[in-house]
Amino acid sequence: MSLSVSVTINGAPHAIELDDPRVTLLDLLRERLELTGAKKGCDRGQCGACTVLVGGRRVNSCLTLALSLDGSEVITIEGLASGDALHPVQAAFIEHDGFQCGFCTPGQIMSAVGLIAEGHAGDDPERIRELMSGNLCRCGAYKGITEAVLEVQRAQQTGNRKDAA
Amino acid sequence: MNRFDYIQPKSVNEAIAAASAPGSTYLAAGTNLLDLMKIGVSTPARIIDITRLPGLDEINWLPDGGVRIGALVRNSDLAYDVRFSRTFPSVAEALLSGASAQLRNAATVSGNLMQRTRCAYFQDLASACNRRKPGSGCDARGGENRLHAVLGWSEHCIATHPSDFCVPLVALDAVVEVEGPHGARDIALEALHALPGATPERETTLQPGELILAVRLPAQATVYAGHTRYLKLRERTSYAFGVVSAAAALEMSGGTIRTARIALGGIAAKPWRARAAEAMLENVKPTPEAFAKAAELALVDARPSGDNAFKIALARNIVVRTLTLAHDGTPKDMPALPASPFAATPGTSHAG
Amino acid sequence: MPADLKPAAPVQLRHGSNAGQPQTRRDGLLKVTGRATYAADNHLEGMLYAVTAVSRIARGRVTSLDVDAAKAHAAVVEVLTPENCPRLAHDPDVKMPYFGFRIEVLQNDNVRYVNQPIALVIAETLEAAIEGAALLNPQYAEEPARTGLDNGEHFAAAAVGVGGPPRTAHGDIDRGFAAAKHVTEADYVTPAQYHNAMEPHAVVAQWDGDHLTLDMPNQALVLSCAGYAAYFGIPRENVLIRSPFLGGGFGSKAIINGPQILAIIAARMMKRPVKLALSRSQMYGPVGHRGQTWQKLRIGTDADGRLTALQHSTISATSSFDEFLESASNASLPLYDSPAIVSEHVGVRLDIGTPGPMRAPGEASGSAALEAAIDVAADACGMDPLEFRLKNYAETEPGTGRPFSSKALRECYTKGAKTFGWAARPLKPRQMRDDNGLLVGWGVGTAVFHCPHFPTAARATLRADGTALIETAGADMGQGAWTALAQIGAEALGLDPSKVEISIGVSSLPDGGVAGGSGHTASAGMSLHSAGKDAISQLTDIAVADPESPLFGAGNIGVVARDGRLYRSDDDNRGESYANILARAGRADVVGTAKAMRDPAIAEKHALFSHGAVFAEVKVDPDLGQVRVTRMVGAFAAGRIINPQLVRSQYFGGMIWGISFALLEEAITDKRTGRIMNADFAEYHVPVNADVPSLEAILIPESDPYLPLGVKGVGEIGITGTVGAIANAIWHATGVRARRFPIRIEDLVGGLLSVDVP
């Protein structure tokens, strides 16, 4: 049984030899690669704090076996900003106070980035709320979260319209 | 989680051969299996990761207008497939009402079919559960069972099947294509999940080693596209399993129902097809009285398995409502809150 | 990299303003980039992983554990059980002074509740530790579990909440009821609720000789050091706790719990750092919860709709071995004017983990019942619920007659009602539907929360370069201490906040008190303010004594500190920068210090409360009973507001907790076994984003002349009032009165089918 896996994480290739087949993507990131941005809130796909992008899609890293990811591309919260330049979603979360304790925030932000890429919400706040409902926030920062996603969506739509013109 | 052997087969045949070893389990996205392994309910000795099997992640339209959905098509990819959601809108709506966007991005068609009950006693290793450990008893009986089954349950098990996706699929006569050590066969989805009877541990009619390759929806099911809905009653607005749910589909001819399809979710160990109610609605006018009578028929055999008599009334009400919404017409766009009572503007289009 | 991940322009953080301004969070950048370090993010060289095995019975003894099976699992290095667990220096069954609870740390094989730690497995990897714990296969000698009112042991409580009296009475209650035209009686049950901070309790423990370093989320840093020191028999200064960020606390991280102690024991035994993080399900037991209550309200009203008597009686659940009783009835003491008020409590012992303070402890449960019952009383009088509340408005504290230090509740009612559109509300229920036929209802609830104060200390250092460092061992669990405390310190120092560095979250700093009771900003803020003033005073002494300073000799006239400069109070043209003053004096810095505690006379002479009014709109499906809170407006008066953006977020959070209390949260216990059957996030529901379509918080200006800095507190008040407002809105939509929380679908469907309202 081969326990080696090649994964690109935040643009950097990793050839990983695992000593254990049970390692989830979340625990790989947190305990073995020291990428602790993704958080463990439930470890069972029930809270969204561990959300990362795999192949550009948002998923719960706690329910993903690291071994099954051979050849995949993973982006975590650590890979979102470009140097000092925040991703627009990150900036909007600060501006709209889309968090309090901050523990769910990496998951919320990765989820929002995934949501925007999926393109099913438009600038309808109700659709944003529904499609952000896989990320629990116990502090109750939902209003700011929705406003932050909405702002980025609208800015992007405006940008797209300008591009088209 | 116990340690296991991990195998990534290159072909269906290789996968099936690998599964002949005792203690083997197929792994798709793992959104249910890994969870169950973490809490010790599933303890496979060998994991056969089928996610890399070629050709199982396609949606193929059949010459007769039906569709074949590969076992590994992700829930979100199917729900957002434009032709699929236009042709089978209640199936798309059911998919989008399940779990979260993240889970739908991972979860597969076959995984959704194979998901296990959410019964807390099934998940709690310290509790007696005939489904998990045959012969140990059923602690859900006499326990906290307000959300348990009201149809098709037995003294041995009162668990429900949690899937949303399967509910409209069963209503629309979906067929499951499987392949196993003894060859390929088709199983009507309605016959895939087993009622508990005296053997609740037999959750499906799959034989050992059999692998789901695809789900087919027949061409006949496309006649309902204009009049079909899925509605799901939840304890919070989203990201919750259903208390009760229903799929309804009407084939209208003039002002009369030609044929009807009805299935219920969250009330039995399988998605529950209400055939007597369907038959009653054939060639009748879509009146509130007719829908109420259909709902009565759908629940005629229901009885509480615990503190859950209210689910019977709710199930009746949701059948009436879903039929009413289906009759009003499938919304032009997917509601912002799919399958929610708070998104049910009858027959009107939703901003999208 | 996908197109949408292209770099954006750097975000502009607004640091250009002072206290009272809506600055964004200072810790925002770290939190949105994943660089904010929570306890379990720490990874030390040679670190081991520890995982607890927990009991699945509620009462009895562990008779065997398969330690060999666990040890045989690859990478497991040790298993801690009562057989090999070292004895502690402090008996964990003896309560530690100040907020200590009895805890379980493998000192014996007794089991007193489900999910109690019964062993600790230590391994080289997390995966092995988890599986090792699963392999222990515990066997028990089980005794019947006491799980409800009927089989629990009732007792007369010595205290409720944190040392409060179990009974308070004003006036003659019998006479009050005798004088009443209507007597409203209503019973309410509130469930066990679990804090469920998003961050599970975690610790990374590390020993260096007899020095202990703990990375852990902690709401009470300095207090906790004393506790850990006592358990391990070391001087308190040998304990260092680092808690720069807490992933939520809500009261559960202010208390020393068993599991963290076990990790510390393991680290000492193994002579290696140990990380332990509880799983979500393991948090339903050893780390506190909001205890269950059974409440009865009796409200007497006269013909004019005035209260003649208010009696609030509560049975509060606690554990079989320790006490924390929800002081629910006390919610009826400060709010409505009544000639007679009784608040009383008794306890019932169950086989559960000991409850503890959870966001608005006592107030949340009590307010839920009181505000729902007040509406029943208003209805009995045929009055609009808001009018009824105004009619019974307390101008002074009921019973005592003490003046409120400040009270802008009337403005909260008025402004909230106007914004919400309350005037259009029909008096009777079931009068409103939306376009889709959903029932619509509006409800109101009054919010109230007291203003506790903790002794604190702080240090403020003015540095030669004109910047400052302010320090206190405060804790930011999300409320925004990093930002708001910096604003307070900057103001006292006369500096722009961007010139002020703040250090909190480490126990070696001056004692910042407890981040709890909605009192942290006022308490830690007071000492930061005083320390800042002390530093300025020292600087002033230097300047006025320095003949070369333009401030020379200004000692009698006085100086003011502003924008990094001292000015003569009588002449804005005569001033000098801090940097100049220090440079000429050859000083690297001046260090101001302060210990601060609110003058107890303030609380003796005044009633100290924040107030608010919450208005809620619900929609209810008439056939299916599903509920959605479609709109909420809360208007709150809480003294001086340091940072309106952060305060608004606190109110939103509290109001969302109110939604949760009213409609979602409940630990479901199997009555036969005491096992919590929904100890996860899938079935123990907390609100999701889609549950919160529209929230508005109005900040009512309120100036308090008595409280230090004029600051009250905002962390907990949002949950009070909201629960009642929602329950009342549901009645208004459906005609069904809530009698238990959360309000369930079947309560409404059953009621909807049986209630006959035209």
Give DSSP secondary structure letters for C490-551.
HHHHT--GGGEEEE-SBTTSSB---S-TT-HHHHHHHHHHHHHHHHHHHHHHHHHT-TTSTT
| Residue tagged active-site, from C104, C323, C716, C746 | C716
Residues of chain B with pLDDT below 70 are: 344-352
What whole-number distance in Å separates Cα of residue C520 and Cα of residue C453? Answer: 8
Hey, what CATH topology would domain B5-52 get? 3.30.43
For A102-130, what is the mean pLDDT? 97
Q: Is C148 exposed, middle or buried (0-12, 13-18, 19+ CB in 10 A)?
A: middle
Query: Is-cis flag, bond preceding B286, omega within 30?
Result: no
Cβ within 8 Å, pair C672-B143: yes
Chain C, window 732-751: residues with a beta carbon less than 8 angstroms from a chain A beta carbon: none
> Helices marked H in B207-345 — which ranges?
275-281, 288-298, 309-328
**pLDDT score, position C29:** 97
| In chain A, domain spans | 4-77, 88-164
Cβ within 8 Å, pair A65-B27: yes
* C309 shares its domain with C410: yes
Cβ within 8 Å, pair C682-B341: no
Nearest residue in C to A52, CA atom: C34
Q: Is the pLDDT of residue C11 over 50?
A: no
CB atoms within 10 A of CB B103: 23
Least confident of C11-15, C180-184, C287-291: C11-15
**pLDDT score, position C751:** 59
What whole-number distance in Å separates Cα of residue C517 and Cα of residue B307? Answer: 39
CA distance B2 to chain A (A): 8
What whole-number distance in Å separates Cα of residue C546 and Cα of residue C581? Answer: 9
Cβ within 8 Å, pair C687-A30: no
Nearest residue in C to B1, CA atom: C131
**pLDDT score, position C18:** 59
Kindly state whether A152 is in contact with chain C, defined as any CB-CB distance less than 8 angstroms: no
Amino acid type, C48 = L
Q: Work out how many CB contacts closer than 8 A connect A with B.
A: 105
Q: Buried b / exposed e across C160-169, counting CB within 10 Å, b at 16+?
A: bbbeeebebe
For the CA atoms of B328, B331, B335, B339, the dihedral, rounded to the nearest 10 degrees, stands at 50
Listing DSSP states for C285-301 in one string gives STT--BPPEEEEEEEEE
Identify the helix (H) or strand (E) that includes residue C620.
strand C609-620
> Helices marked H in A69-141 — which ranges?
88-95, 105-118, 125-131
Among A27, A90, A101, the residue with its CB nearest the CB of C246 is A101
What CATH number is given to the structural domain containing C551?
3.30.365.10
Sort out which chain A residues have CB atoms less than 8 A from C219's CB and list them. Answer: none
**pLDDT score, position C555:** 86
CA distance B67 to chain C (A): 32
Sheet hosting strand C110-111, strand order edge to edge? C110-111, C60-64, C139-142
What whole-number distance in Å separates Cα of residue B326 and Cα of residue B331? Answer: 9
Task: Say which residues have a Cβ less than 8 Å from residue C717's Cβ, sequence separation at least 6.
Answer: C360, C447, C448, C449, C518, C610, C611, C612, C636, C638, C651, C654
* C580 shares its domain with C645: no
* C52 shares its domain with C85: yes
* C98 shares its domain with C237: yes
pLDDT-derived band at A133, boundaries 50, 70, 90: very high
What CATH number is given to the structural domain containing C81?
3.90.1170.50
On whether the CB atoms of residues C425 and B335 are closer than 8 A, the answer is: no
Chains that touch B (3 or more CB pairs under 8 A): A, C
On whether the CB atoms of residues B131 and A88 are closer than 8 A, the answer is: no
Assigned architecture for domain A4-77? Roll (3.10)
Among B1, B237, B318, the residue with its CB nearest the CB of C624 is B318
Q: Answer yes or no: is C609 within a domain.
A: yes
On whether the CB atoms of residues B9 and B21 are closer than 8 A, the answer is: no
Chain A, window 22-51: residues with a beta carbon less than 8 angstroms from a chain C beta carbon: 22-23, 27, 30-31, 34-44, 46-47, 49
What whole-number distance in Å separates Cα of residue C692 and Cα of residue B342? Answer: 13
> Helices marked H in C341-408 — which ranges?
363-380, 385-391
On whether the CB atoms of residues C516 and C523 are closer than 8 A, the answer is: no
* C608 shares its domain with C591: no
CB atoms within 10 A of CB C273: 21
Cβ within 8 Å, pair A1-B5: yes
Looking at C552, C572, C597, the residue that finishes a domain is: C597
DSSP state of C690: G
On whether the CB atoms of residues C665 and C686 are closer than 8 A, the answer is: yes
**Tens-place pLDDT, residues C616-664:** 999 999 999 999 999 999 999 999 999 999 999 999 999 999 999 999 9
What whole-number distance in Å separates Cα of residue C21 and Cα of residue C36? Answer: 24
On whether the CB atoms of residues C217 and C199 are closer than 8 A, the answer is: yes
Cβ within 8 Å, pair C4-A116: yes
Among C438, C628, C672, the residue with its CB nearest the CB of B237 is C628
Q: ∠ at Cα B64 (B63, B66), nearest 5°?
A: 95
Most distant pair of Cα atoms in chain C: their distance: 88
Q: Is the pLDDT of residue C756 over 90?
A: no
**pLDDT score, position A1:** 57
User: Residue C31: how many CA atoms within 13 Å on its side-chain side?
Assistant: 30
What whole-number distance in Å separates Cα of residue A51 and Cα of residue A26? Answer: 9
Identify the helix (H) or strand (E) that includes residue B33.
helix B33-38
Among A43, A58, A127, the residue with its CB nearest the CB of B102 is A58
Kindly state whether A66 is in contact with chain C, defined as any CB-CB distance less than 8 angstroms: no
Among B237, B239, B336, the residue with its CB nearest the CB of A124 is B336
What whole-number distance in Å separates Cα of residue A74 and Cα of residue A64? Answer: 12
Sort out which chain C residues have CB atoms less than 8 A from B345's CB and list them. Answer: 435-436
**pLDDT score, position A160:** 76
On whether the CB atoms of residues A59 and B77 are closer than 8 A, the answer is: no
Query: Is-cis flag, bond preceding C742, omega within 30?
Result: yes
On whether the CB atoms of residues B312 and B304 are closer than 8 A, the answer is: yes
Q: What percentage of chain C carries pLDDT values higher than 90? A: 95
Q: Using the structure block, give the residue that is written with the tokens 């002949």.
A: B20
Q: Is the pLDDT of residue C410 over 50?
A: yes
**pLDDT score, position C328:** 98
pLDDT-derived band at A157, boundaries 50, 70, 90: confident
What whole-number distance in Å separates Cα of residue C200 and Cα of residue C352? Answer: 19
The top-level CATH class assigned to A88-164 is: mainly alpha
Kindly state whether C411 is in contact with chain A, defined as any CB-CB distance less than 8 angstroms: no
What angle do the packed helices A142-164 and C644-659 form, to 10 degrees? 110
Kindly state whether C623 is in contact with chain B, defined as any CB-CB distance less than 8 angstroms: yes
* C441 shares its domain with C461: no
Cβ within 8 Å, pair C11-A106: no
- The total domain count for chain C is 3
What whole-number distance in Å separates Cα of residue C643 and Cα of residue C639? Answer: 12
What whole-number distance in Å separates Cα of residue C357 and Cα of residue C450? Answer: 14
* C645 shares its domain with C560: no
Q: What percentage of chain A carries pLDDT values higher than 70? A: 96
Closest listed residue to residue C738, CA positions, set C296, C15, C29, C189? C189
Sort out which chain A residues have CB atoms less than 8 A from B34's CB and list them. Answer: 24, 63-65
Q: C491 an active-site residue?
A: no
What whole-number distance in Å separates Cα of residue A71 and Cα of residue A55? Answer: 10
How remote is the C-alpha of C734 from its chain's centroid? Answer: 32
What whole-number distance in Å separates Cα of residue C661 and Cα of residue C346? Answer: 22
Least confident of B88-102, C7-21, C449-463, C724-738: C7-21
What whole-number distance in Å separates Cα of residue B74 and Cα of residue B61? Answer: 17
Cβ within 8 Å, pair B1-A22: yes
**pLDDT score, position B352:** 27
Closest listed residue to residue A125, CA positions, set C630, C29, C660? C630
* C432 shares its domain with C476: no
What whole-number distance in Å separates Cα of residue C462 and Cα of residue C467? Answer: 6
pLDDT-derived band at A159, boundaries 50, 70, 90: confident
Among B34, B102, B238, the residue with its CB nearest the CB of A51 is B102
Cβ within 8 Å, pair B6-A3: yes
Kindly state whether A115 is in contact with chain C, defined as any CB-CB distance less than 8 angstroms: no
For the CA atoms of A113, A115, A118, A120, the dihedral, rounded to the nearest 10 degrees, stands at -150
Higher pLDDT, C380 or C8: C380
Kindly state whether A156 is in contact with chain C, defined as any CB-CB distance less than 8 angstroms: yes
Instruction: Work out the end-to-end distance of chain C between its first and last CA atoms, rounded to an integer number of angstroms.
Output: 61
Structure-block tokens of residue C705: 């002349």
CA distance B242 to chain C (A): 11
Q: What is the ipTM of this complex?
A: 0.98
Among C625, C626, C688, the residue with its CB nearest the CB of B239 is C688
CA distances C337 to C181, C244, C392, Å, are 17, 44, 5
For C128-137, what is the mean pLDDT? 98
pLDDT-derived band at C752, boundaries 50, 70, 90: low
**pLDDT score, position A164:** 64
pLDDT-derived band at C22, boundaries 50, 70, 90: confident
Chain C, window 106-135: residues with a beta carbon less than 8 angstroms from a chain B beta carbon: 127, 130-131, 134
Cβ within 8 Å, pair C623-B320: yes
Amino acid type, A55 = G
Mean pLDDT computed over every residue of chain C: 95
On whether the CB atoms of residues C507 and C473 are closer than 8 A, the answer is: yes
What whole-number distance in Å separates Cα of residue C419 and Cα of residue A51? Answer: 38
CATH number assigned to the domain covering B226-343: 3.30.390.50
Sheet hosting strand B228-233, strand order edge to edge? B228-233, B244-253, B256-265, B272-273
What whole-number distance in Å separates Cα of residue C295 and Cα of residue B75? Answer: 46
Handedness of CA C582, C584, C588, C592 (dihedral sign): negative
pTM over 0.90: yes
On whether the CB atoms of residues C32 and A93 are closer than 8 A, the answer is: yes
Kindly state whether A126 is in contact with chain B, defined as any CB-CB distance less than 8 angstroms: yes
Cβ within 8 Å, pair B336-A130: yes
Instruction: Quote the domain boundaries for residue C674.
Output: 293-452+604-754
pLDDT-derived band at C6, boundaries 50, 70, 90: very low
Cβ within 8 Å, pair B337-C436: no
Among A31, A76, A113, the residue with its CB nearest the CB of C34 is A76
* C735 shares its domain with C677: yes
Nearest residue in A to B8, CA atom: A68
Cβ within 8 Å, pair A87-C8: yes
Kindly state whether A19 is in contact with chain B, defined as any CB-CB distance less than 8 angstroms: no
| In chain B, domain spans | 5-52, 226-343
**pLDDT score, position A6:** 97
Looking at C540, C568, C597, the residue that finishes a domain is: C597
